[in-house]
Amino acid sequence: MRRLDGFVCRRTWLRPSLADLLLVSLVAWLFVAGQGWTVLLADGDTGWHVRAGDWILQTRSIPTRDLFSFTRGGEPWYAWEWLSDVIFALIHRHWGLAGVAALAGCVLALAALAVFRHMLWRGANALVSLAALLVMVSASSIHYLARPHVFTLLLLAVSLWMVERDRRQPSRGVWLLVPVSALWINLHSGFFALPTSLAVLAAGLGIEGWMDQAQRRPSWRASQRYAALSAATAAASLANPYGIRLHQHIWSYLTSDWIRNAVDEFQSPKFRSENLLHFELLLVAALLLGGCLVARRRVADALLVLVWAHLALGSVRHVPVFAMVAAPLVAAEISRLWERRAQEATARSPWRILWALGEDQKASFQRVSPWSAALLWVAILVTPAWKWPGDFPREKFPVSLVHAEAAHLTGSRVFTLDQWGDYLIYRNWPGQKVFIDGRSDFYGREIGRDYLRLAEGRPGWESLFHKYDFDAALIPREWPLAALLDRDAGWRRIRADQLAVLFERRPAEPSERANQIARLDR
């Protein structure tokens, strides 16, 4: 029988499992269908991440001073995602933006699969888990971009599962999260989601011990364990090139009122898209089922959901983290309620039949085989060429105009929007320096406010153009500033397309220039 069992086991590994098919289905749904892998490049930050990685590979050092701007060139800068930048740059050297997009997409699909398997491990029915997964992925997809945070989503999904396994059966393996944290902090600052979740878990277990005298000692012992693990993972984050200064910088950045008011991803969700409606559905389900958790004295789980729900409602960038935290709990609670209903139903009841079907398929969903890598490779190979990005999306970035006027733009002091500044860095660096780009933590309040005044064409824009000594402007056609520059005798239009307009400053006669400066000074 042992030989037969081994033979059967080997034959099982020779065919793909449902988990393998689910992984490739997620990739096909998110990145092969529709607009293709290009959707992952909707944010220009990918451009400066690639170029920062190139600089690190060329100099074999971590930057401490700004590389990209003429407004703050050479000033202190924290490249806190330097390791992700290096990974992106290495991929880009061999496969270009298509490779960067493929890497990000596969990492996001693996993160989703890890959450799905976590649901099954918690005892959720396979059908419930599939429904919860689709809602979670849809809600999280608002931040599905080829940026370093994709590593946070994968590592957080795995870490939360490891912690939950440790809660059921404590082992020394959970302390592997400490060296993982040292790696994580150099990939993305979203690492702080882990010590935060552990601290919330420790507080919730402490409350559980206070509520239940019979479980007081084990609950308090577990609370102390996860409080210590939270402190250890937080301490591990000091293993970065900037030490404690990075933490101080991130804290000032995340608590800045100006950043929260000016940067879209730090603002509250606007429930006007399908993605955020799925977030709303998951949020309502999590809060309602949180009452069931509290009634069963599972305060730690309910508190974890409540804290991340609060953070997600305050900042849309926390929505994917909330979705990953809440989905396994929601799936497990709905499955528990469904199981009770199925047991009370007759043998032919749809409730009982569907429940049995979901339970029968759990084993196949829990097995991941080497076929998953092969199927991912096939999905990549069969993607039509037009769905692979050769450049950033033309409907969002002035790709044609920048290509045509590269010689004119490189070396100019260009005013443009922050996302297009990212693209100029990607396309024309190292010759190109920018006024502003996507590093909102770096430029600060003064430059940020000046940027918004110019973008909106507010009175006094001429003095700001003089202040920063711009000699070119690359701006969207619909901006008020485009009409103002068209009417200004000191500027002339060079080229325009359906998306953008490029202006250059006319050379002024010495006497005219002196009169302009005097008028601006007054």
Residue 379 has pLDDT above 80, yes or no: yes
Distance in angstroms (rounded) separating the CA atoms of residues 337 and 296: 13
The mean pLDDT of 276-298, rounded to a whole number, is: 91
Taking only the tens place, the pLDDT of each residue in 490-504 is 999 999 999 999 999
The mean pLDDT of 332-342, rounded to a whole number, is: 90
- Please report, as a single letter, which amino acid is at residue 191: F
Residue 296 has pLDDT above 50, yes or no: yes
Band the pLDDT of 87: cuts 50, 70, 90: very high
Residues facing residue 501 across a β-bridge: 475, 496
pLDDT of residue 20: 87
358 or 141, greater pLDDT: 141
Band the pLDDT of 3: cuts 50, 70, 90: very low
pLDDT of residue 518: 52
Distance in angstroms (rounded) separating the CA atoms of residues 487 and 490: 9
pLDDT of residue 479: 93
Q: How far does Cα 224 stand from its chain's mean position? A: 31
Q: At CA 162, angle to CA 121 and CA 6, rounded to 5?
A: 55
Residue 357 has pLDDT above 70, yes or no: yes
Total Cβ atoms within 10 A of residue 351: 15
Taking only the tens place, the pLDDT of each residue in 188-245 is 989 999 999 999 999 999 998 888 676 777 888 999 999 999 999 999 999 999 999 9
Q: Tell me which residue has tokens 């000016």.
A: 262
Q: Going edge to edge, which strands form the sheet with 414-416?
A: 414-416, 472-476, 500-505, 491-496
Band the pLDDT of 173: cuts 50, 70, 90: very high
Residue 470 has pLDDT above 50, yes or no: yes
pLDDT of residue 266: 83
What's 415's DSSP letter? E
Band the pLDDT of 174: cuts 50, 70, 90: very high
Residues 126, 121, 325, 160: what is their CA dihedral angle, to the nearest 10 degrees?
Answer: -150
- Please report, as a single letter, which amino acid is at residue 112: A
The mean pLDDT of 249-263, rounded to a whole number, is: 82
Q: Tell me which residue has tokens 């989601």.
A: 193
289 or 264, greater pLDDT: 289
CB under 8 Å to 418, separation ≥6 — which residues? 44, 436, 437, 438, 440, 451
Band the pLDDT of 121: cuts 50, 70, 90: very high
| Contact present, 501 and 475 (Cβ < 8 Å) | yes
Closest residue by Cα to residue 426 from 135, 54, 134? 54
CA-to-CA separations, 453 to 170, 447, 491, in angstroms, rounded:
56, 10, 19
**Residue 9 DSSP SS3:** helix
Distance in angstroms (rounded) separating the CA atoms of residues 400 and 380: 27
Distance in angstroms (rounded) separating the CA atoms of residues 68 and 364: 50
Taking only the tens place, the pLDDT of each residue in 149-170 is 999 999 999 999 999 999 999 9
Whether pTM > 0.85 for this model: the answer is yes
pLDDT of residue 67: 94
pLDDT of residue 252: 86
Token digits for 137?
Answer: 């992925």
Question: Domain residues of the chain, as ranges?
Answer: 17-382, 399-521
Residues in the chain: 522
